[in-house]
Amino acid sequence: MNPFVILTDSSADLPLDLVKTLDIDVVQLYVTVDGEEPRPNNEVEIGAFYQSLRDKRSAKTSAINIETFEEIFEKHLAAGRDVLYLGFSSGLSGTFQAGLFAAKEMAEKYPERKIAAVDTLCASLGQGLLVYHAVQKRNAGAGLEEVRDYIESIKLNLVHLFTVDDLFFLKRGGRVSAVTAVAGSALGIKPIMHVDNEGHLVKIGIKRGRRASLDDLCARMQALAIDPADQTVFISHGDCEEDARYLAERVRTVMGVKKEILISHVGPVIGAHSGPGTMALFFLGKER
């Protein structure tokens, strides 16, 4: 048995097989499509979800409430396991604050146990990659406090680079104006974005054309990455796997990455706001 549990939430977009391999616990956020009954993130069929977005059906997400967090914490604490919670960026969701409040409540109820919470300031597989590094540290024998401090020390080096194919979803989320969305779509403009040091999604550039935007992600990695040949790289995509494989091959060729590059979907929680065609690249860099 591992000496402590690493807990995260489903905004981390980690595929189920990797969750099992990493031996972590994941709390599910909920997704509602066109007013239907809310469903846990892991019960939403990803292909059908993205088709619903292409069909212009609405999708909304719900943060995890305090009571749900308390149940998950207590399950582990009552069984004698300490818990390290690595949460969804507080700059994008209220989920972390709910988890932090629950952790404090449980710490009073189980004073003999260790409970810690880290605001990762990350999202999607950026959060997932930070969780991955936490597990590697735990598996190497580090204790809960050491892993917590390690994650705090590297979280602002976890680079998130995004581009989207359809500006409609950014317009709906209030991240671009209606005029920008219409004009940008007509001209084939693709924004380049990242998650900043406060955990917010911020535009940092534009490119004209899909292929140019993907190449730009690789070029930015070339400028920022620390020892890219020997680090783990994650790529997530909004139901556009062919483009993800193109980007992975560019990264491998240009950066000389030797390790396997994980490719997985942008899950419904993030995808509801970014839309089909989203592409994201995650790695450790000199700065975000």
Please report which confidence band the pLDDT of residue 189 belongs to, taking 50, 70 and 90 as the band edges: confident
Same domain for 76 and 161, yes or no, is no
Same domain for 17 and 143, yes or no, is yes
Tell me the β-bridge partners of 202.
Answer: 194
Residue 8 sits in which domain range? Answer: 4-155
What's the average model confidence in pLDDT over 139-155? 97
Same domain for 162 and 123, yes or no, is no
Q: Give the span between the Cα atoms of 204 and 192, in whole angstroms.
A: 6
Chosen domain end from 137, 155, 173: 155
Same domain for 116 and 174, yes or no, is no
Number of structural domains in the chain: 2
Same domain for 8 and 148, yes or no, is yes
Number of helices (H) and strands (E) in the chain: give both, helices first: 11, 13
Same domain for 61 and 49, yes or no, is yes
Q: Give the span between the Cα atoms of 134 and 140, in whole angstroms.
A: 10
Q: pTM for the whole thing?
A: 0.94
Residues in the chain: 288
Chosen domain end from 155, 173, 206: 155
pLDDT exceeding 70 applies to what percent of the chain? 92
Structure tokens at 221: 């990695």
* Tens-digit pLDDT profile for residues 255-266: 999 998 999 999
Intra-chain end-to-end CA distance of the chain, in Å: 35
Same domain for 131 and 269, yes or no, is no
Chosen domain end from 135, 155, 175: 155
Q: Give the span between the Cα atoms of 86 and 267, in whole angstroms.
A: 18
